[in-house]
Copies of this chain bind each other. A is one copy, B any other.
Amino acid sequence: MRRLKAIISYDGTQFSGYQVQPGERTVQAEIERVLAIMHKGEKIKVTASGRTDARVHATGQTLHFDSPLAIPVDKYMKALNVQLPRDIRVMSIEEVADDFHARYSVTGKRYRYIWSCESVQSPFRRQYTVETNGVKPNVEAMQEAAKAIIGTHDFSCFCAANTSVKDKVRTVTTLQFEWCGEELHMVIEGNGFLYNMVRIIAGTLWEVGIGRRDIENVELVVKSMNRDKAGKTAPPQGLYLEKVFY
């Protein structure tokens, strides 16, 4: 038996999220289905760094699982990719120490959020970005407002109401906007993220960018620790889990 760490990429469009849910197509269920085939029906439990919601994408989701198969890791990866549906790909796989844990060993995560600001959104980007109907936000204002978010705070204001997590103090280390052609990317890194946190931050800063919320207001939102003071939860298809740090 050995512990394997896998980095996977998935197009979230046709999944009801990462985590297994009865009757739904999920990323975890697909991977466990394929592992069971490779292990002659034996159930191999997969642990991820965390969940992602329906339609949310990942380019660097990270998993661990324990396997008795002694095949080399590159062949292991190929065997998985041959059986997996094409909207999930294993990008790398390596053997790790037995105490590595995809969820508990996490030291940080990086997410990306993408808006497409062309006057007409490319049909090829409809599932991978959020359309703004040609609206180009004031990115300097968004970047300025982001200063109130960077750092260590109780982020209750950016946490979906239906969560059981008690401690909502997290540290955001990076929150950066960059244009990539006519697409606006928000890159955010931190030691951990609450449920819907990135999408609520994206939605709140977007409102700053289009002049619907003052830059100064964002600091008040953070201090309020009140979800209702923040902006709307931005749509799922703009969000990517890009990297998990250990």
Query: What copy number does this chain have within its complex?
Result: 2
Which residues from 58 to 114 on chain A have a C-beta closer than 8 Å to any C-beta of chain B? 59, 77, 81, 86-91
Q: Check if A10 is an interface residue, CB within 8 A of chain B.
A: yes
Does B9 lie within 8 Å of A89, measured CB to CB? no
In the bound complex, what is the Cα–Cα distance between A66 and B128 (angstroms)?
Answer: 35
Q: Check if A57 is an interface residue, CB within 8 A of chain B.
A: yes
Majority secondary structure of chain A interface residues (helix, strand, loop or mixed): mixed
Q: Check if A226 is an interface residue, CB within 8 A of chain B.
A: no
Q: Check if A207 is an interface residue, CB within 8 A of chain B.
A: no
CB closest residue in chain B, given A9: B123
Interface 0/1 of A5-32, CB less than 8 Å to B: 0000111000000000000000000000
Does B123 lie within 8 Å of A86, measured CB to CB? yes
Q: List, in ascending order, chain B residues with CB within 8 A of A124's CB.
A: 9, 11, 57, 128
- Shortest CB–CB separation between residue A77 and chain B, in angstroms? 8
Q: Check if A122 is an interface residue, CB within 8 A of chain B.
A: yes
Interface 0/1 of A130-157, CB less than 8 Å to B: 0000000000000000000000000000
Q: Check if A121 is an interface residue, CB within 8 A of chain B.
A: yes
Q: Check if A120 is an interface residue, CB within 8 A of chain B.
A: yes
Does B90 lie within 8 Å of A120, measured CB to CB? yes
- Shortest CB–CB separation between residue A66 and chain B, in angstroms? 23
Does A81 lie within 8 Å of B120, measured CB to CB? yes
- Shortest CB–CB separation between residue A160 and chain B, in angstroms? 26
In the bound complex, what is the Cα–Cα distance between A88 and B128 (angstroms)?
Answer: 15
Q: List, in ascending order, chain B residues with CB within 8 A of A81's CB.
A: 120
> Which of B9, B90, B121 is the one whose CB lies under 8 Å from A122?
B9
Q: List, in ascending order, chain B residues with CB within 8 A of A128's CB.
A: 124
Does B121 lie within 8 Å of A89, measured CB to CB? yes
Q: What would 5 A/B residue contacts be, using CB atoms closer than 8 Å?
A: A10-B123, A59-B122, A81-B120, A89-B121, A89-B123
Q: Please name 13 further chain A to chain B contacts, defined as beta carbons within 8 Å, in addition to the given A86-B123, A86-B126, A87-B126, sorted by A numbering.
A: A9-B122, A9-B123, A9-B124, A10-B123, A11-B123, A57-B124, A77-B120, A86-B121, A89-B121, A89-B122, A89-B123, A90-B120, A91-B120
Closest 4 pairs (CB-CB, A-B): A11-B123, A86-B126, A87-B123, A89-B123
